[in-house]
Structure 1
Amino acid sequence: MSKVTKNPAWMVLRTDGVQITLSKPTEANGLQVDKLHLRAPTVRDVRTATAASGGDDEQRELALFASLAEVSTKDLESLTIKDYNRLQAGYFRLVQDDEL
């Protein structure tokens, strides 16, 4: 019997990425948004974020998520912790290998 992973209502997993509905609107790229989309990461995305972080894991994650969402790290830093946790959950669900 296979286990089905149910995503929360605020997370929509797609073939090209994951869409996260925020708990409250925020500013991203100068616009008010209530959703952020993270595209599926590539090895290059991870390597670039790692190189830019100077060994700081938090900075690496911020740089990676900003790149995938096509927003600035400053935009991500203004998110509430609840919404940042949603981004993290979306990212980890996105890169998780599907169960057979």
Structure 2
Amino acid sequence: MTQAKIPSWMKLSADGVVVALTRPSEANGIKVDSLSLRSPTVRDIRAAQSAGSSDDEQRELNLFASLAEVGIKDLEGLALKDYGRLQAGYFRLVQDDEL
């Protein structure tokens, strides 16, 4: 089975993923044109789940904010297309290599 092509706006490694944004956004008080997510640990997933109770969106925001080391408000300020890129990068990052 062949792997899907990695988009040009995504740089994937074993340690994380860097996602280029369609427009600059603010992260930790600085304008950035990309965001990096480090590879998650089981601890990261458990912490996001415990902080987000039953709200799936909140759990995802908690997790992405932790992995990107930015505030939740920074993620909420992203263009929807850029947040979708971040989601795609995360799912590509945690995908099993055999799939």
TM-score norm. by structure 2 comes to: 0.96
Say whether 1:45 aligns with 2:44. yes
Corresponding position: 1:61 with 2:70: no
| Number of matched pairs | 99
| d(CA) in 1 for partners of 2:60, 2:37 | 13
Q: CA separation in 2, counterparts of 1:57 and 1:5?
A: 26
Taking the aligned partners of 1:27 and 1:56, their CA distance within structure 2 comes to 25
Q: Alpha-carbon deviation of 1:37?
A: 0.3
Detail structure 1 runs of 4+ shifted over 6 Å in the superposition. Answer: none
The 2-side partners of 1:96 and 1:47 are apart by 18
Identity of aligned residues (%): 66
3-state SS in 2 of match to 1:22 = strand
Other structure's SS at 2:34 match: strand
TM-score scaled by structure 1?
Answer: 0.96
Where does structure 1 lack aligned partners over 5 or more consecutive residues?
A: none
Please tell me whether residue 8 in structure 1 is matched to residue 12 in structure 2. Answer: no
Please tell me the root mean square deviation across aligned C-alpha atoms, in Å: 1.0
